[in-house]
Amino acid sequence: MLLVSHPKSKSVHITEDTRRYLEKKLGKLEKHFHQEPEARLVQGFERGQHIVEVTLAGDGILLRSQDRNGDLHAAIDRVVDRLETQLKRFKEKRIDNHRQPSPIKQEAAALHEPQNDGFRPVIARHKTFKMERMTPFEAIRQMELLDHGFFLFLNADTDRLAVVYRREGGDYGLIEPEI
């Protein structure tokens, strides 16, 4: 059985029924893992809609999905379906890598030691650029000018590396290392 650890909530209380329902739904994903995975639920409620975010971690895989819906159970169902799709896609890529390695993948494998899990990512492009000090707002502007989904920069406010990224809803996120 999957355990929902550290349930957090944004403005709503996570009931025992909700936790049990999520555990039941996530139970169908358990067969894809060698060891019992850990799931984390973040639940919120805004403008008449339930916001459900589930992060699933196990076997070195980290999956995350989020959904908004007027019905809490429907939101959980869609999140679990998306997690299952992500998990299947990841497993298929690993299987496909074992069946027919492309010449590029064979060359990359020759350059690097094989990993224990069979997963061999290929770096298709390498890019360097001068790291500029800027505020997160300036970094977002630069990201939009380049039409990228994320942007790495030296945060002028904290003097540390940071990443800004575009979220699904159209707003932005900021990632900074924890000291």
- pLDDT tens for each residue of 107-151: 655 655 555 556 777 888 888 878 889 999 999 988 887 788 899
- pLDDT tens for each residue of 39-71: 888 888 888 888 888 888 887 777 888 899 999
The CB density around residue 155, as the number of other CB atoms within 10 Å, is 19
**Do residue 140 and residue 64 come from a single domain?**
no
Percentage of the chain lying above the pLDDT 90 cut: 20
HSE at residue 40, side-chain half, CA atoms within 13 A, is: 10
Find the domain containing 139 and state its range: 133-175
Sequence-distant (6+) residues with CB within 8 A of 159 are: 133
User: Rounded to an integer, what distance in angstroms lies between the CA atom of residue 86 and that of residue 49?
Assistant: 24
User: Rounded to an integer, what distance in angstroms lies between the CA atom of residue 128 and that of residue 5?
Assistant: 40
CA distance to 138, 154, 168, 175, per residue, from 178 (Å): 22, 15, 24, 9
Residue type (1 letter), 83: L
Name the helix (H) or strand (E) containing 173.
strand 172-175
User: Rounded to an integer, what distance in angstroms lies between the CA atom of residue 72 and that of residue 9?
Assistant: 13
Q: Which of 76, 99, 122 is the last residue of a domain?
A: 99
Question: How many residues in the chain?
Answer: 179
**Residue 106 maps to a domain:** no
**Do residue 13 and residue 69 come from a single domain?**
yes
Mean pLDDT computed over 85-103? 66
**Do residue 143 and residue 87 come from a single domain?**
no
Q: Is the pTM of this model over 0.75?
A: no
